[in-house]
Amino acid sequence: MASGDFEDDAEATVTMEEYIESMDAEELEADLVLGGDEGDECTYPKGYMKRQAIFSCITCTPEGNAGVCTACCLTCHDGHELLELWTKRNFRCDCGNSKFGTLACKLLPGKDLENSENSYNHNFKGLYCSCDKPYPDPNGEEHGEMIQCCICEDWFHEEHLAPKPSDGVSSQIPRDEEGVPVYEDFICQNCSPVCSFLTLYPEKLWVAAKVDSNGSANACADTTESNQTPTASEPVQPENSTEAEKSVLRGCSEKLADSEPFPAPGCAIATGLTSCPEFEKKPLFVTKNWRNMLCKCEKCLEMYSERKVSYLLDAEDTIAEYENKAKEKRTEKLEKQEGEALDHFNNLDHVTKVELSHGIKDFKEGFRSLLESVGTSRAITSEDVEEMFSKLKNKRKRME
């Protein structure tokens, strides 16, 4: 046997602990993507959900103008060519509507002909980035990881973030000394004009390269608490604001108070909001907790609504909150499973309980014997496991 054969065996060998950890990691990753959705019911009755996992069925809608929920993906489109789109905001399941021709939703037939508020982009065709290519690229071109714009929710390659190299706009993702990204959200060059109002805040709100080592905003050196009562020229600060967040809002007032009057008492950005400054299209990277620092005065709320970005003020819109809820659902599910198993055991009669306890004890002893017999000289094979269960079966027969 060649030495390479041993290397191949070694690469295919994993410990029981490693296997269990990998399975748990895969289950957790799936739960995070699906938001804890078990896929039992179509989400259509819930309307336009703030955020949910969406799939595009290329078999049924090759033009990429429809999306389906997890349950419909599993039940109505089993065996079809499906694209996993991760999550989409303000989306309602399309399965079985007019875009699917004669195919009716098996879980919930009789839906509206169309969901007019749904938004679709080239992701639904399996294309991404400004290069309009699939991921992974079948031509074998490697572009590394992709990052998602928090506004349009398209995905981009790092080298394609800037409109074109000659523009002199850096497309470098801000990272710390160890190469770890130091931003919370990314806004692509096409969506940055919609968020041009961010330039009216101090740079430390949206220039990720300016954040501190913890990834938090650090707008000014003076972060001491103030006992002064807010005046009409001071920004309204959100409840439970951190000192860093408060300092950003104070900085907004200090930056612009001398140049332009406030349109309304307490506004954090001194501008009429009817026209934001001329803004060059470029990628933006915003810092940790930047949404908490956005002004919430009446004029700004109107501006967010006009620009269709009011969701930026909703904590449930963020991926972080979506994943936190998924983790909570996963914990509840595991606790429920443990409770059901214990209830089932407690409902067994005494004889069955004793037999089950002896069976568990015999399995533990048999497995321990297997590990001791194999040692560290080789990996456990399927034949070893079959032999162990055969011995357990024979032992049980002798006891009957």
Determine the distance from the C-alpha atom of residue 76 to the mean position of all C-alpha atoms in its chain, rounded to a whole number.
Answer: 25
- Cα distance between residue 271 and residue 299, in whole Å: 10
Give the residue numbers spanning the domain of 75. 27-128
Q: Is residue 4 part of a domain?
A: no
Closest CA to 246 of 273, 260, 270, 227: 227
Between the alpha carbon of residue 190 and those of residues 163, 229, 277, 381, the distances in Å are 9, 40, 16, 55
Q: What angle do CA 303, 307, 313 make, to 5 degrees?
A: 70
Asked, for residue 11, whether it belongs to a domain, the answer is no
Distance between CA 109 and CA 116 in Å, rounded? Answer: 18
Residue 106 belongs to a domain: yes
Asked whether residue 7 carries a pLDDT value surpassing 50, the answer given is no
Mind spelling out the 3-state secondary structure of the chain? CCHHHHHHHHHCCCCHHHHHHHHHHHHHHHHHHHCCCCCCCCCHHHCCEEEEEEEEECCCCCCCCCCECHHHHHHCCCCCCEEEEEEEEEECCCCCCHHHCCCCCCCCCCCCCCCCCCCCCHHHHCCECCCCECCCCCCCCCCCCEEEECCCCCEEEHHHCCCCHHHCCCCCCCECCCCCECCCEEECCCCHHHHHHHHHCCHHHCEHHHCCCCCECCCCCCCCCCCCCCCCCCCCCCCCCCHHHHHHHHHHHHHHCCCCCCCCCCCCCCCCCCCCCCCCCCCEEECECHHHHCCCCHHHHHHHHHCCCHHHHCHHHCHHHHHHHHHHHHHHHHHHHHHHHHHHHHCCCHHHHHHHHHHHHHHHHHHHHHHHHHCCCCCCCHHHHHHHHHHHHHHHHHHC
Query: In which residue are the tokens 């002896």 written?
Result: 358
Task: State the pLDDT confidence band at 48, using cuts at 50, 70 and 90.
Answer: very high
Maximum C-alpha span of the chain: 94
Place of tokens 């060519």: 81
Count of structural domains within the chain: 2
- d(CA 29, CA 154) in angstroms, rounded, equals 21
Q: How confident is the model at residue 92 (pLDDT cuts 50, 70, 90)?
A: very high
- The Cα–Cα gap between 290 and 280 comes to 21
Residues of the chain with pLDDT > 90: what percent?
30
The structure's pTM equals 0.65
The confidence score (pLDDT) of residue 13 equals: 65
pLDDT tens per residue, range 314-360 = 988 988 888 888 788 777 777 777 777 777 777 878 777 777 777 88
pLDDT at 398: 76
pLDDT of residue 18 exceeding 80: no
Give a yes or no: residue 250 inside a domain: no
Tell me, what's the pLDDT at 126? 93
pLDDT at 276: 55
Among 109, 128, 147, identify where a domain stops. 128
**Residue partners of 394: CB distance under 8 A and separation at least 6:** none
**What pLDDT is stored for residue 343 in this prediction?**
72
Torsion, CA 197, CA 201, CA 202, CA 208, rounded to 10 = -60
Listed in sequence order, the residues at least 6 apart from 391 whose beta carbon sits closer than 8 Å to its beta carbon are 366
The winner for highest mean pLDDT among 9-23, 249-263, 307-321, 334-348 is 307-321
CA nearest to 95, candidates 80, 86, 87: 80
* pLDDT per position as a tens digit, 146-164: 899 999 999 998 888 865 5
Query: pLDDT category, 45, cuts 50, 70, 90?
Result: very high
Q: Which of 198, 242, 235 is nearest to 218 (CA)?
A: 242
Phi, psi of 54 (to 5 degrees): -130, 145
Residue 287 lies in a domain: no
100-142 residue pLDDT tens: 999 999 999 989 999 999 999 999 999 999 999 998 888 767 7
Which of 106, 30, 116 has the alpha carbon at shortest distance from 75? 106
Write down which residue in 128, 156, 178 finishes a domain.
128
* Distance in angstroms (rounded) separating the CA atoms of residues 298 and 264: 8
**Residue 34 is assigned to a structural domain of this protein:** yes
So what's the pLDDT on residue 222? Answer: 32
Lowest-pLDDT choice from 40-49, 67-76, 349-358, 380-389? 349-358
* pLDDT value of position 59: 96
Task: Note whether residue 155 is domain-resident.
Answer: no
pLDDT band for position 98 (50/70/90)?
very high
Last residue of a domain, one of 97, 128, 159: 128
Q: Which residue has the higher pLDDT, 185 or 275?
A: 185
**C-alpha atoms less than 13 angstroms from C-alpha of 154 in its C-beta half-sphere:** 27
> For residue range 187-246, what is the model confidence (pLDDT) as tens digits?
999 998 999 888 888 766 765 444 344 443 333 323 333 333 333 334 334 444 445 444
Token pair, residue 313, equals 């003020």
pLDDT tens sequence across 287-297: 888 898 899 98
- Please tell me the predicted confidence (pLDDT) of residue 256: 38
CB environment 280-294: b (16+ within 10 A), e (fewer): eebbbbbbbbbbbbb
Is 91 part of any domain?
yes
pLDDT in tens, 262-284: 344 568 776 545 445 566 788 88
Task: Provide the residue count of the chain.
Answer: 400
